[in-house]
Amino acid sequence: MKTFFNRHLNILDYAIGNLWRGRFRSVSILVVFTITVFMVASFSLLSNSLRSAAVQLLETVPEIIVQKLEAGRQVGISIDEIPKLDTIYGISEINPRIWGYYFDEINGANYTVIGDPRFGRDQLIPGLPLEMSSPEKLNPAISPAVVGTSFVQSRRVGQRSNFSLFRPDLSLKSFRIVGSFSDRSSMVTADLLVTTIEDARDLFQIQANQVTDLLVSVANPSEVNVIAGKIDKILAGSRVITRNQIQKTYQVAFGWRSGVGLICMLGAVTAFAILAWDRASSLSPDEAREVALMKMVGWQTSDVMLVRFWESAVLSTISFGLGYMAAWIHVLFFKGALFLPILLGWSVLKPPVVLVPVFRFSDLLLIGSLTIFPYLAATIIPAWRSGTVKPDALV
Amino acid sequence: MIRHATFFLLFCLLFVCFNAALWIYSAKHQQTLAGDGLVPEIVGTLGLTDLCLATDARYIRHLSVSDPLSPYMNHPGALEHFPSSALYVPR
């Protein structure tokens, strides 16, 4: 056993010495390889951290959401439909809600407006944790609003309490800020404007008996799917979304099949093709002479292949180490700065994204198998070719 | 004199230590994500369904309650053009 280790250590020494002698070429491969690992690992860690955030933050999403579709598009649902669901045993509560998007023509931002029936002109939503809450500002004559941090920044509200939004007929509707969400909850509330259901209806000019969706609470969580099926049968043309489906969405939403994922993968494959080509076509006269001399002093083809394997292993390990570590620093401390512009796209509001990846051994293996193994595989044939050089042909 | 192989093994050890430090740091900061239980409370109270990441496209802002055809509903023959959707897997 000791002989075995000594042999490999000696060959490793020799391989590192070889890499050092050809350091210009080694460093160029190292840089390309490190960048490849960095890109693949950064994407993997970014998607990992978004999935992890979704799991932690969306654990309390509604058990069932009921929407109505018409010609494949979501339309309002009548509150007259609610009594039809009374026959379903197991439903503990049904909350109608109005929500929609408000496009701010002043700055091009999109806000999410929610009208909640528990929010009144004389009372805040019970149990809603707020950073700033001013119930004394509630006034029966003025529409109250609770807003997110990006909304406040985008509208430049500052110390003011009042602001106005346009109705579809371009008349102005005034709101008074009576509370704001903490920036610790920005990952879900940054663009929110929560108001009373009547004020949301007035802002969007929605008919009196219409709401956007129904939030259904179920007494026994194990019955959610059965109840969802019953609702689907009773309300024709409805779309019933369960908590499980919402949570699953984010488990599959960020993956290698996305555009950016494919670009990273394609980049990795191209980089490896170049590296493999470099390795396959780079048996220089000096290297060939070196192999010939090695064989003359008694080295076998397998020994030469072993040297080449260790050279590849050392290069790929160093590149993987540097690239993987850089990717962690990139995602954890720089919030995935390279991918963030894609993540935010053309968003005018820039919600503060918090990315905290979770270490998973499976991710490490996946990144390794996407980067190290192809490189090692690509160097087998060149290693064999260099090992089979005839000494008498060169010396 | 230290041999090359020892240098290499020391690098591997250093790599494991640095990464372990990052993993531990990350694990400690997981709690900050949920704002010490604040976020799940807001999500549960308001019935929110999605993370507020990109706000440019409606179907990206509320991904879980949109259907796969939403990006193509603007007009017949509409193409998806929002950069943010490049990060999401088409469902």
What is the rounded CA–CA span in Å between residue A348 and residue A358?
29
The answer to whether A156 touches A140, Cβ cutoff 8 Å, is no
Which residues in A lie closer than 8 A to residue B40 (C-beta atoms)?
56-57, 59-60
Domain assignment of residue A310, yes or no? yes
Alpha-helix residue ranges (DSSP H) falling in chain A: 2-21, 23-57, 149-155, 186-189, 197-204, 224-234, 243-253, 259-280, 285-296, 301-332, 340-344, 361-378, 380-387, 391-394
CB pair distance less than 8 Å for A354 and B7 = no
Tokens of A38: 């960095």
The answer to whether B73 touches A75, Cβ cutoff 8 Å, is no
The answer to whether B33 touches A354, Cβ cutoff 8 Å, is yes
How far separated are the first and last CA of chain A, in Å rounded? Answer: 36
What is the rounded CA–CA span in Å between residue B86 and residue B67?
16
| Among A211, A236, A267, residue at a domain's last position | A211
Domain assignment of residue A245, yes or no? no
Q: Which range of residues forms the domain containing residue A34?
A: 8-57+254-394
Q: Across-strand partners of A102? A: A111
Q: B57 vs chain A: nearest CA distance in angstroms? A: 8
What is the rounded CA–CA span in Å between residue B85 and residue B71?
9
Nearest Cβ partner of A60 from B11, B26, B40? Answer: B40
Q: B6 vs chain A: nearest CA distance in angstroms? A: 9
CB pair distance less than 8 Å for A16 and B82 = no
| Angle between the N-to-C axes of helices A301-332 and B4-33, in degrees from 0 to 180, rounded to the nearest 10 | 30
The answer to whether A134 touches A179, Cβ cutoff 8 Å, is yes
The answer to whether A175 touches A157, Cβ cutoff 8 Å, is no
Domain assignment of residue A93, yes or no? yes
CB pair distance less than 8 Å for B88 and A128 = no
- Give the model's pLDDT for residue A77: 94
Domain assignment of residue A68, yes or no? no
Which residues in B lie closer than 8 A to residue A60 (C-beta atoms)?
40-41, 43-44
Residue A296 shares a structural domain with residue A357 = yes
Query: Which residues of chain A are under the pLDDT cut of 70?
Result: 276, 279-283, 393-395
DSSP single-letter state for residue A120: B
State the virtual CA torsion across A23, A25, A29, A32 in degrees, nearest 10.
100
CB pair distance less than 8 Å for A110 and B11 = no
| Nearest residue to A99 via CA among A29, A220, A199, A6 | A199
Domain assignment of residue A229, yes or no? no
- Give the model's pLDDT for residue A280: 62
What is the rounded CA–CA span in Å between residue B73 and residue B91?
15
Partner B, chain A 10-49, Cβ-Cβ below 8 Å: 12-13, 16-17, 20
Global ipTM: 0.90
The answer to whether A16 touches A309, Cβ cutoff 8 Å, is no
Q: B77 vs chain A: nearest CA distance in angstroms? A: 15
- Give the model's pLDDT for residue A188: 93
- Cβ atoms within 10 Å of A102's Cβ, excluding its own: 18
Check CB contact of A321 with chain B, cutoff 8 Å: yes
Residue A29 shares a structural domain with residue A94 = no
Partner B, chain A 125-164, Cβ-Cβ below 8 Å: 125, 127-129, 148, 150
Which residues in A lie closer than 8 A to residue B62 (C-beta atoms)?
112
Distance of CA A86 to the CA centre of its chain: 39
Residue A28 shares a structural domain with residue A113 = no
Which residues in B lie closer than 8 A to residue A189 (C-beta atoms)?
42, 48, 52
| Nearest residue to B42 via CA among A121, A130, A111, A132 | A130
CB-based burial of residue A340 (10 Å sphere; 0-12 exposed, 13-18 middle, 19+ buried)? middle
**Which residue type is seen at A282?**
S
Residue A84 shares a structural domain with residue A43 = no
Residue A273 shares a structural domain with residue A304 = yes
Q: CA-CA distances (angstroms) from residue A57 to A210, A251, A350, B48, B90?
A: 30, 13, 19, 10, 22
Tokens of A377: 């595989």
Residue A85 shares a structural domain with residue A160 = yes
For A72, left (φ over 0), alpha (ψ -120 to 50), or beta? left
CB pair distance less than 8 Å for B22 and A53 = no
Q: How many pairs of residues across A and B have Cβ atoms under 8 Å apart? A: 236
Residue A181 shares a structural domain with residue A304 = no
Q: A293 vs chain B: nearest CA distance in angstroms? A: 22
Chain B's closest residue to A347, CA to CA, is: B56
Domain assignment of residue A65, yes or no? no
Q: A179 vs chain B: nearest CA distance in angstroms? A: 13
Residue A17 shares a structural domain with residue A114 = no
- Give the model's pLDDT for residue A389: 74
Nearest Cβ partner of B47 from A215, A245, A356? Answer: A215
For residue range B32-41, list pLDDT tens digits in order: 777 778 899 9
| Nearest residue to A203 via CA among A190, A191, A194 | A194
Total domains, chain A: 2
Domain assignment of residue A225, yes or no? no
- Give the model's pLDDT for residue A138: 84
Q: A393 vs chain B: nearest CA distance in angstroms? A: 32
Degrees to nearest 5, angle at CA B25 with B31 and A43: 90
| Helices vs. strands in chain B: H and E counts, helices first | 3, 0
CB pair distance less than 8 Å for B63 and A249 = yes
Domain assignment of residue A302, yes or no? yes
CB-based burial of residue A115 (10 Å sphere; 0-12 exposed, 13-18 middle, 19+ buried)? buried
| Nearest residue to B66 via CA among A214, A65, A337 | A65
Residue A14 shares a structural domain with residue A104 = no
The position carrying tokens 């590149």 is A319
For residue range B18-72, list pLDDT tens digits in order: 999 999 999 888 877 777 788 999 999 999 999 999 888 888 899 888 887 888 8
Q: Across-strand partners of A240? A: A66
| Among A160, A190, A211, residue at a domain's last position | A211
Residue A190 shares a structural domain with residue A94 = yes
pTM summary value: 0.88
Helix or strand or coil: residue A63? coil
Nearest Cβ partner of B63 from A65, A97, A253? Answer: A253
Residue A162 shares a structural domain with residue A109 = yes
Alpha-helix residue ranges (DSSP H) falling in A172-256: 186-189, 197-204, 224-234, 243-253
The position carrying tokens 């990992």 is A48
Chain B's closest residue to A116, CA to CA, is: B46
Residue A53 shares a structural domain with residue A83 = no
| Among A150, A180, A211, residue at a domain's last position | A211
What is the rounded CA–CA span in Å between residue A307 and residue A16?
9
Q: How confident is the model at residue B91 (pLDDT cuts 50, 70, 90)?
A: low
